[in-house]
């Protein structure tokens, strides 16, 4: 696990002096050392967090003939099997690191190396003779990679956007078109970013840069293809156990994150790390530490508990938004920031439960097709009329239901946390033409899932948008902010092969989610832990917004010039007042507040 950064100069030779500040910006990702390669137009840099082969795994790494140069962020969990296979084919390895598998694998198979990899990765490989750059990202998007083609022809790439800020070819410009999308989703969706010209290499994609031309293409598309045959709890347990064992491969201690939910509990029970880490709040309504600590005791684990005070939570928001690179309105990111900071005192690697909801049907919205089915039998014109009328008034539980069920799944669903609707965006934004709906991002995904059950179709949307854009991005950025490698055993290609084939009835019903996974979890967890209702890493922001000094903090940010540049300040203050007097607008308030705090970090005076 590391950070990578580099560039291919648009003309002339690369200046080695330009690479150093890029690496300095992301030094938190790899505090154990830095390395660089600069030759001709190419400059490749690496910040290392030493996990496998600490003595021999420094990067950049070179092929045997030194023609290929690579910088790599991630872990290849089947590298030992691939090393044996490549050795049998005549390749000679100089290190024990998983990075070297990528070099020999590229020499042997070219792009066909990618589907052979089991792991999380984002890497950049330079071919010195051909003068070509090849970059690739893993199938789920666990590890991030950004790139930018500058006006002078220079191509920049890095694990974090902030690495571009000090390069003279990069022009920092705000991309206003991303704001309405963010307000809908609570994260920055799709290929574009809030920095004009900076793009994400999407999950399961590769990039080739040759003769001044950038080409990107998808190398894998994970698909949910539910079958008719049932998959036993024992089969699910077995594939998860195998993934956990693979994810424990390291030359350093591997710990675990443990909340009160089934996902982290199952991973922890299978892994049995020596220690685990849990977050708690003083507010009982949001405290998951009691079931987490009870599970840790039953497993014989040392559990480290970190209580977050309201003051330190709010004080950390600017740092969280800076490390995220783009604004994120997921308040759990702040909790994850503290959780990783606590773990970093002792370990470099932790296992976590991200991905279980997307693969096994864990979000409460997946129960939607099974509830109030009588309403769906009403004439479409009547449901549509009620939904249209509901869209003209402020949102609320009943209003949201009418809007949601007034149109087809394809016309409304773009993720489990749809936030500001069009009515709210028109009210809040200073200048909004109504062209900021994220539904265009889902069109191809709906086409490829036509004929499948509604839950599988929603899972396909979430796997491609929400998982990569929010869940995994905050996991990467909040862990790497403290030099911690976060591993996610649910997001393994072998596990996905099983999850993708689950029948629709094994995912959710009107009362419960993750049905098949809970049955598997019951084989290794206490019954109460396997059946526990999903809480989703709750954070007390709703309550804190009604308390001083936090109300005044938000009001002050809503009164600053940046707020007036993008929003209607009167509408912002009205929304805050409505929450103070009993309304429930905390997610909308937090979304705007997070954006404005982020904007100050990167575009403030």
CA distance 593 to 587: 10
Q: What whole-number distance in Å separates Cα of residue 473 and Cα of residue 161?
A: 13
Q: Which residues are catalytic?
A: 2
C-beta separation of 51 from 25 below 8 A = no
CB 317 within 8 A of CB 494: no
What DSSP string runs through 191-239? SB-SBTTEEEPPTTEEEEEETTEEEEEES--------SS---HHHHHHH
**Secondary structure class of 268 (helix, strand, coil):** helix
CB-based contacts of 533, cutoff 8 Å, min separation 6: none
User: Which string of DSSP letters, residue by residue, matches 101-131?
Assistant: HHHHHHHHHGGGGGGG--EEEEEEEEETTTT
8 A C-beta contact, residue 489 and residue 211? no
At 251, is the secondary structure helix, strand, or coil? Answer: coil
596: its two tokens: 């404005």
CA dihedral 414, 470, 570, 396 (to 10 degrees): 50
Direct distance between the N- and C-terminal alpha carbons of the chain, in angstroms, rounded to an integer: 34
- The β-bridge relationship of strands 155-158 and 275-280 is unpaired
Angle (CA) 218-222-224 rounded to 5° is 145
Sign of the CA dihedral with 275 first, then 281, 282, and 284 last: negative
């Amino acid at each position: 696990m590391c950070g990578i950064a580099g560039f291919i100069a648009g003309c002339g030779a690369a200046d080695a002096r330009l690479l150093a500040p890029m690496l300095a910006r992301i030094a938190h990702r790899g505090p154990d050392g830095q390395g660089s390669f600069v030759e001709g137009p190419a400059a490749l840099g690496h910040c290392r967090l030493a996990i496998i082969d600490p003595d021999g795994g420094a990067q950049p790494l070179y092929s045997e003939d030194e023609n290929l140069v690579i910088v790599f962020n991630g872990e290849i969990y089947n590298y030992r099997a691939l090393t044996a296979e490549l050795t049998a084919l005549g390749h000679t390895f100089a290190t024990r690191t998983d990075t070297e598998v990528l070099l020999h694998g590229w020499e042997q198979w070219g792009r066909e190396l990618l589907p052979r990899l089991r792991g999380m990765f984002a890497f950049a490989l330079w071919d010195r003779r051909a003068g070509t750059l090849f970059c690739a990202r893993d199938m789920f998007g666990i590890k991030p990679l950004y790139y930018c083609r500058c006006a002078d022809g220079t191509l920049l790439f890095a694990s974090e956007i902030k690495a571009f800020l000090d390069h003279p070819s990069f022009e920092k410009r705000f991309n206003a078109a991303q704001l309405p999308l963010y307000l809908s989703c609570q994260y920055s969706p799709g290929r574009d970013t809030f920095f004009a010209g900076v793009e994400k290499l999407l999950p399961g994609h590769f990039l080739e840069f040759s003769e001044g031309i950038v080409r990107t293409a998808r190398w894998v598309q994970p698909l949910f293809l539910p079958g008719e045959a049932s998959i036993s709890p024992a089969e699910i347990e077995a594939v998860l156990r195998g993934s956990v064992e693979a994810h424990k491969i390291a030359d350093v201690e591997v710990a675990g994150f443990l909340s009160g939910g089934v996902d982290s509990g199952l991973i922890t029970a299978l892994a049995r790390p020596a220690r685990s880490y849990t977050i708690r709040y003083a507010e009982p309504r949001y405290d998951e530490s009691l079931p987490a600590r009870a599970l840790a005791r039953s497993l014989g684990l040392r559990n480290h508990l970190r209580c977050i005070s309201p003051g330190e939570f709010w004080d950390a928001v600017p740092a969280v938004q800076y490390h995220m690179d783009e604004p994120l309105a997921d308040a759990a990111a702040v909790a994850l920031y503290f959780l990783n900071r606590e773990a970093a005192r002792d370990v470099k690697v932790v296992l976590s439960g991200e991905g279980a909801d997307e693969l096994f049907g864990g979000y409460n919205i997946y129960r939607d097709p099974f509830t109030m089915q009588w309403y769906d039998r009403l004439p479409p014109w009547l449901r549509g009329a009620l939904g249209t009328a509901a869209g003209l008034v402020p949102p609320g539980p009943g209003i949201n239901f009418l809007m949601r069920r007034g149109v087809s799944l394809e016309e409304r669903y773009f993720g489990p946390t749809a936030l500001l609707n069009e009515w709210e965006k028109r009210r809040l934004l200073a200048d909004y033409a109504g062209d900021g709906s994220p539904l265009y991002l889902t069109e191809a995904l709906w086409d490829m899932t036509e004929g499948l059950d509604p839950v599988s179709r929603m899972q396909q949307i979430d796997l491609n948008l929400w998982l990569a854009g929010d869940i995994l991005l905050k996991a990467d950025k909040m862990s790497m902010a403290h030099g911690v490698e976060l591993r996610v055993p649910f997001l393994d290609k072998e596990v996905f092969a099983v999850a993708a084939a689950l029948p629709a009835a094994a995912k959710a019903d009107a009362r419960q989610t993750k049905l098949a996974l809970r049955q598997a979890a019951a084989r290794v967890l206490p019954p109460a832990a396997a059946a526990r209702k999903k809480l989703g890493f709750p954070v007390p922001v709703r309550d804190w917004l009604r308390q001083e000094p936090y109300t005044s903090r938000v009001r002050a940010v809503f009164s600053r010039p940046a707020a007036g540049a993008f929003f209607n300040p009167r509408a912002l203050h009205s929304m805050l007042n409505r929450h103070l007097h009993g309304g429930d607008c905390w997610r909308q308030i937090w979304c705007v507040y997070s954006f404005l705090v982020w904007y100050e970090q990167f575009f403030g005076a």
